Amino acid sequence: MSFNLEGKVAVVTGGSSGIGLETVRLLLAEGARVAWCGRNPERLAASEQEIAAAFPGADYLTVACDVLDKSQVEAFAGQVKARFGGADLLINNAGQGRVSGFADTTDDDWLNETRLKTFSVIYPVKAFLPLLEQSECPSITNVNSLLALQPEPHMIATSAARAALLNLTHSLAHEFAAKGIRVNSILLGMVESDQWRRRFAERSDRESSWEQWTATIAARRGIPMGRLGKPQEPARALVFLASPLASYTSGATLDVSGGFNKHL
């Protein structure tokens, strides 16, 4: 089944690694023209090399951009407009979680987490909104976390910020409906990432393989599917929600947690 993205222009923030890069791959495989950004120029260049090798002749654009810098995001939107003439899909994917409890979370930590999880969406939405308003099939899709509905005490600031992003997403879906712009999000569970790879490299049990080590974590945390998610899996969910296949879906959250959710 096609996602009906041939020739569409997709924008992915935080696209130089992990879920973001897998989303870029899938969008290009579906025939979309893709612009993605990342704040680390070296990592961004490495992602472009990977894509160039995997998709020779594909139409894409990479821009070094910190999504928490409003002027950089506006410049990114300007480059997308100059290159592609517009944008149809905006996929917001940025920000890792902060591990801390209430006692060891400073005032600045609270502010930084809230700013990261909300303004990493607010600035791109503001910058790309004029382009999306001109599209025939516009959508905004945000990467969020299961923490938004299922907070963890050891990630208190991130959980609160994720809940704020969920509320923001739902509010934008209602406000932008009149413009024909759909707004949705996915809720991530525990997904393989560079962060998990670093922890694996520092593991105490040197005999265990990656598969064994992650399966042990999944069992300890009570993930019914018995494993961590792979970046390609949330990428597929993102592309579906962003695509015309989800044309009557807005204000929705799609759980991608391997059954880890405990809420109705």
Asked if 40 and 101 sit in the same domain, the reply is: yes
Evaluate whether residue 135 is within a structural domain.
yes
Asked if 72 and 197 sit in the same domain, the reply is: no
Evaluate whether residue 2 is within a structural domain.
no
Asked if 175 and 242 sit in the same domain, the reply is: yes
Evaluate whether residue 164 is within a structural domain.
yes
Asked if 80 and 106 sit in the same domain, the reply is: yes
Q: What residue numbers bound the domain in which 62 lies?
A: 9-191+231-251
Task: Assign residue 39 the CATH number of its domain.
Answer: 3.40.50.720
pLDDT digits (tens, 9 = 90+) for 64-112: 999 999 999 999 999 999 999 999 999 999 777 899 999 999 999 999 9
Asked if 165 and 217 sit in the same domain, the reply is: no
| pLDDT in the model for residue 263 | 81
- From residue 249, give the alpha-carbon distance in Å to each of 35, 83, 237, 256: 24, 29, 13, 17
Cβ neighbors of 71 (< 8 A, separation 6 or more) are: none
Asked if 217 and 182 sit in the same domain, the reply is: no
Asked if 98 and 174 sit in the same domain, the reply is: yes
DSSP state of 230: P
Tokens of 219: 């069992």
| pLDDT in the model for residue 95 | 74
Per-residue pLDDT 10s for the chain (264 aa) are: 689 999 999 999 999 999 999 999 999 999 999 999 999 999 999 999 999 999 999 999 999 999 999 999 999 999 999 999 999 999 999 777 899 999 999 999 999 999 999 999 999 999 999 999 999 999 999 999 999 999 999 999 999 999 999 999 999 999 999 999 999 999 999 999 888 888 899 888 888 999 999 999 999 999 999 999 999 999 999 999 999 999 999 999 999 999 999 887
Asked if 34 and 64 sit in the same domain, the reply is: yes
Tokens of 263: 């809420």
Q: What is the pTM of this model?
A: 0.96
Please name the residue ranges forming H helices in 177-230: 194-201, 210-221
Evaluate whether residue 166 is within a structural domain.
yes
Asked if 96 and 45 sit in the same domain, the reply is: yes
| pLDDT in the model for residue 1 | 67
Evaluate whether residue 4 is within a structural domain.
no
Asked if 124 and 209 sit in the same domain, the reply is: no
| pLDDT in the model for residue 26 | 98
Evaluate whether residue 101 is within a structural domain.
yes
Evaluate whether residue 263 is within a structural domain.
no
Q: How many Å apart are CA 129 and CA 223, to the nearest integer? A: 38
Give the up-direction half-sphere exposure of residue 114: CA atoms within 13 A in the CB hemisphere: 10
Asked if 74 and 126 sit in the same domain, the reply is: yes
Q: How many Å apart are CA 94 and CA 185, to the nearest integer? A: 13
Evaluate whether residue 17 is within a structural domain.
yes
Asked if 23 and 147 sit in the same domain, the reply is: yes
Domains of the chain: total: 2
